[in-house]
Amino acid sequence: MNRKAHWDEVYSNKSPLEVSWYQKEPALSLQLIENTGISTHAAIIDIGGGASILVDRLNERGYQHLAVLDISGNALAYAKKRLASAADHIEWFESDITVFQSPHQFDLWHDRAVFHFLTAATDRERYVETLQRTLKPGGHLIMAAFAIGGPSKCSGLDIVQYDAEKLLAELGSDFTLLEENSETHTTPSDKAQQFAYFRFVKEK
């Protein structure tokens, strides 16, 4: 499957308000970011942020070094249009995360529902290699994925469900789990999806 073609088509055929992962407010992500205690000068990247409004909310809260990565240029275009002139102060990366080469490191990496799409072990290994290169030592990692017992597919694609033990086995010994939360996400079509959220620190 061509991942980029798939996600470009999704955002060509649907409004960001119609996709199953749409959130009116990314409340739990914002709470976990606040729990890290990072300053508004910290560099934050939202992986798969696409048309998410997380970047809007972080911008409103005064965070000054924001970046959004998405494989779909169509998704990024929605966000840029919505943010208008504020988009000029944000870094935008159109890339598959498994091959992303960041121009600099970040203090915080946020991923809501990208990693769980990587069903091939080689893709997960490349993701973690990118994460290791891109996140500073002492940096914060916030990840959300479908929980054990949650959906087994999304957007017509298979996913991998995670709990803390399973995710730590993928990330490796450099990451320490600090916080774990669960959330029932209600899709625009009124279906319930069980998510698990995790907050880690990268020790080195």
Decide: helix, strand or coil at residue 201: strand
* pLDDT value of position 154: 76
Q: Give φ, ψ of 5 to 5 degrees.
A: -60, -40
The pLDDT value given to residue 11? 67
Q: Is residue 130 in a domain?
A: yes
Residue 150, classed as helix, strand or coil, is coil
In a domain, 28, yes or no: no
- Write the pLDDT tens digit of every residue in 144-179: 998 998 877 777 778 899 999 999 999 999 999 999
pLDDT at residue number 177: 98
CATH number, domain of 121, equals 3.40.50.150
In a domain, 41, yes or no: yes
Q: Give the count of domains, the chain.
A: 1
What pTM was computed for the model? 0.90
Determine the Cα–Cα distance for residues 193 and 191; give it in Å rounded to an integer: 7
- If you average pLDDT over residues 7-20, what whole number do you get? 66
Q: What is the pLDDT of residues 42-90, one digit of tens each?
A: 999 999 998 889 999 999 999 999 999 999 888 899 899 999 999 999 9
Task: Please say if the pLDDT value at position 5 is more than 90.
Answer: no
- Of 2-6, 25-29, 35-39, 81-85, least confident by mean pLDDT is 2-6
Does 21 map to a domain? Answer: no
**Token pair 């490796």: residue:** 172
Residues 6 or more apart whose CB falls under 8 angstroms from that of 139 comprise: 105, 106, 107, 108, 109, 201, 202
Task: Classify residue 24: in a domain, yes or no.
Answer: no
Look over the chain and give the mean of its residue pLDDT values, rounded to a whole number: 90
Question: Which structural domain, as residue segments, surrounds residue 135?
Answer: 3-11+34-202
**Contact present, 196 and 151 (Cβ < 8 Å):** no
Helix (H, G, I), strand (E, B) or coil at 67: strand
Q: Buried (b) or exposed (e) across 7-16, using 16+ Cβ within 10 A?
A: bbebbeeeeb
Task: Work out whether the CA dihedral 109, 165, 2, 150 comes out positive or negative.
Answer: negative
Distance of alpha carbon 98 from alpha carbon 115, whole angstroms:
10
Helix, strand, coil shares of the chain, percent, nearest 5, are 35, 30, 35
Asked whether residue 97 is assigned to any structural domain, the reply reads: yes
The predicted model gives 3-29 an average pLDDT of 73
Q: Is residue 108 part of a domain?
A: yes
pLDDT digits (tens, 9 = 90+) for 118-131: 999 999 999 999 99
Q: What is the pLDDT of residue 50?
A: 82
Confidence of residue 16 (pLDDT cuts 50, 70, 90): low
In a domain, 18, yes or no: no
